[in-house]
Amino acid sequence: MDRVPEPELMESAEQARVYAEADFSESNSLFVQLFRHHFPLLAPRHVLDLGCGPADICIRFAENYPDAEVTGVDGAEAMLVFARDAISQSPAGKRIRLLRNHIQHVNADKYDVIISNSLLHHLADPHDLWRAVRRLAEPGAAIVIMDLMRPSSEAEVESIVATYASDEPEALRRDFYNSLCAAFTVSEVSKQLSANDLTELSVEAVSDRHLLVYGQLEISSEF
């Protein structure tokens, strides 16, 4: 099945609300678990979450790593409204800051950990993400990026939506369907990593609908 791109930003207030109120605890918990699995001894200091959305993973990282300062970046103000509210209710909220920006234009600090969940499939040019990783990572930085994985057929897309989102609002089911169609395959992501000189990173399927990119940069972070 060919990829069908979708809009990069969730700029609709209603779309952002539905997404923020959805229960992504299973996949977000999996994200943190996979980070711990691949970096069991790491104590993150400066964490960058690209495409942070409503900041649930920012909060999970800050709560799980008490010495970490977490920066969340998202281009959609509608999404950051919910992120600010969630952070204000977290005991770890003082160690989280939010930036509204497109990832192409983030040129701030260097980070020893870069994470991202469900951003890649939104990008018109997926290389924007890998350029940002190269530009913003310290040498030796830990990288963990999870995203949806495009199924092989429309029938498989429909099956996955029915399995995991049958009880969700119609708007969320529609977004989930479109996101699966916009996602990349493991093979495509592997080629993206090679094209951006990030071959020290690995990519693999970690569920029937998710892929994971992970590894540690050993080369200069200058792009």
Residue 144 inside a domain? The answer is: yes
150 to 14, 25, 35, 98, 188: CA distances (angstroms): 25, 21, 22, 29, 10
Residue 3 inside a domain? The answer is: no
Per-residue pLDDT, 107 = 80
pTM greater than 0.85 (yes/no): yes
Distance separating alpha carbons of residues 186 and 191, to the nearest angstrom: 9
Per-residue pLDDT, 172 = 85
Residue 6 inside a domain? The answer is: no
Distance separating alpha carbons of residues 59 and 162, to the nearest angstrom: 29
Q: Which domain holds residue 28?
A: 13-216
Residue 221 inside a domain? The answer is: no
Token pair of 88, please?
A: 């204000």
Amino acid at 65: Y
Torsional sign, CA 60, 143, 94, 21: negative
Residue 4 inside a domain? The answer is: no
Q: How many domains does the chain have?
A: 1
Mean pLDDT by 10 residues, the chain (223 residues): 78 59 76 96 96 94 96 93 94 96 86 96 95 95 98 97 91 91 98 97 96 86 43
Per-residue pLDDT, 221 = 42
Residue 100 inside a domain? The answer is: yes
Q: What angle do CA 209, 199, 59 make, to 5 degrees?
A: 50
* pLDDT tens digits along 20-60: 565 567 888 999 999 999 999 999 999 999 999 999 999 99
How many Cβ atoms are within 10 Å of 207's Cβ, its own excluded? 14
Residue 2 inside a domain? The answer is: no
Bridge-based pairing state of the strands 210-216 and 137-148: antiparallel
Distance separating alpha carbons of residues 69 and 33, to the nearest angstrom: 19
Per-residue pLDDT, 18 = 60
Per-residue pLDDT, 45 = 96
Residue 182 inside a domain? The answer is: yes
For 73-86, b/e burial (b = at least 16 CB within 10 A) is: bbbbebbbebbeeb
Cβ atoms of 52 and 83 within 8 Å: the answer is yes
The CATH number of whichever domain residue 195 belongs to comes to 3.40.50.150
Query: How far out from the chain centre does Cα 76 lie?
Result: 14
Question: Strand runs (DSSP E) across 5-136, as ranges?
Answer: 46-50, 69-74, 96-100, 111-117
Cβ atoms of 61 and 44 within 8 Å: the answer is yes
Per-residue pLDDT, 169 = 85
